[in-house]
């Protein structure tokens, strides 16, 4: 199934970029939802102050990725930030077997059903057994929120030193310009992509509606409470898995997209 979603030769089309020199590196690549809709994919690596690396939403482990990782430090944490972003967990665990693996609880069964390699999760985020500590080094630099009310069971991270929100499917930022920039195809071409873009850009009301009537419909109050806690973090940059990185105006973009849920959270207070 993955072969229909990701590029056959990721080395040729992946964009490796230092978003924050010597601290945050992104690995952006084409990705097609359902094999048709251009949403892009992105892995993120954060170099902690002690020199270890935290990997979020790992992408294809190409020779170029390995070289970049080796230049940055030692991989200590590998995170699948929701129940969808886990395709390459197996290869990353095989390459960096001592790294702690983080993910949402449903992912264990999901991977088993989809016949992916079994990996030993160190920290499983659960609604009934919240994860409150990873380790001292990680917790000094990151805040995190599990959003079980999201249909994909999102885990959202805030890297405090760089004021960077790192997340998978909580918020999209269509179009995926950077992610398709080396592919030779337009990030916005195709009827389905354009329609999806109407629901996943950050300027109109489409994404508000998608989140309200679709993504959070099973538990809007729970979703709103998580969104309120995330909104309380002091971030200015958003690194999404799908769409371009938001620089400088991350908090205002978040407020706009999540406005209805933030209002609901106020009413529940």
CB 196 within 8 A of CB 39: yes
Domains of the chain: total: 1
2 pLDDT above the threshold of 70 = no
Q: Which of 46-55, 63-72, 73-82, 103-112 comes out lowest in average pLDDT?
A: 103-112
State how far the alpha carbon of 139 is from the alpha carbons of 22, 160, 253, 267, in Å: 20, 10, 26, 31
CA angle 154, 157, 162 (to 5 degrees): 155
In percent, the amount of the chain with pLDDT more than 70 equals: 98
124 is in which domain, residue-wise? 2-268
- Give the pLDDT band of residue 5 (cuts 50, 70, 90): low
Q: What are phi and psi of 75, to 5 degrees?
A: -70, 120
1 pLDDT above the threshold of 90 = no
Tell me, what CATH number does 110's domain have? Answer: 3.60.15.10
Bridge partners, residue 74, by sequence: 52
- Give the pLDDT band of residue 191 (cuts 50, 70, 90): very high
């Amino acid at each position: 199934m993955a072969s229909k979603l990701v590029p056959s030769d990721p080395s040729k089309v992946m964009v490796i970029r230092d978003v924050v020199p010597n601290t945050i590196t992104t690995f952006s690549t084409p990705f097609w939802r359902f094999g048709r809709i251009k949403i892009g994919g992105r892995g993120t690596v954060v170099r902690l102050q002690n020199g270890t690396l935290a990997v979020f939403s790992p992408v294809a482990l190409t020779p170029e990725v390995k070289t970049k990782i080796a230049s940055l430090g030692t991989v200590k944490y590998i995170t699948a930030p929701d129940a969808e972003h886990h395709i390459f967990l197996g290869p990353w665990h095989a390459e960096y077997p001592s790294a702690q693996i983080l993910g949402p609880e449903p992912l264990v069964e999901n991977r088993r059903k989809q016949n992916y390699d079994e990996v030993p999760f160190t920290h499983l985020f659960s609604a009934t057994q919240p994860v409150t500590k990873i380790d001292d080094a990680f917790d000094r630099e990151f805040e995190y929120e599990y959003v079980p009310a999201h249909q994909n069971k999102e885990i959202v991270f805030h890297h405090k030193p760089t004021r960077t929100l790192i997340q998978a499917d909580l918020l999209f930022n269509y179009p995926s310009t950077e992610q398709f920039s080396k592919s030779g195809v337009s990030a916005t071409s195709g009827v389905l992509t354009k329609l999806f873009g109407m629901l996943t850009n950050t300027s109109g009301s489409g994404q508000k509606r998608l989140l309200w009537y679709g993504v959070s419909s099973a538990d809007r109050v729970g979703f709103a409470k998580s969104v309120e806690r995330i909104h309380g973090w002091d971030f200015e940059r958003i690194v999404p898995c799908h769409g371009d990185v938001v620089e400088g105006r991350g908090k205002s973009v978040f407020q706009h997209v999540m406005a209805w849920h933030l209002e609901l959270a106020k009413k529940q207070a």
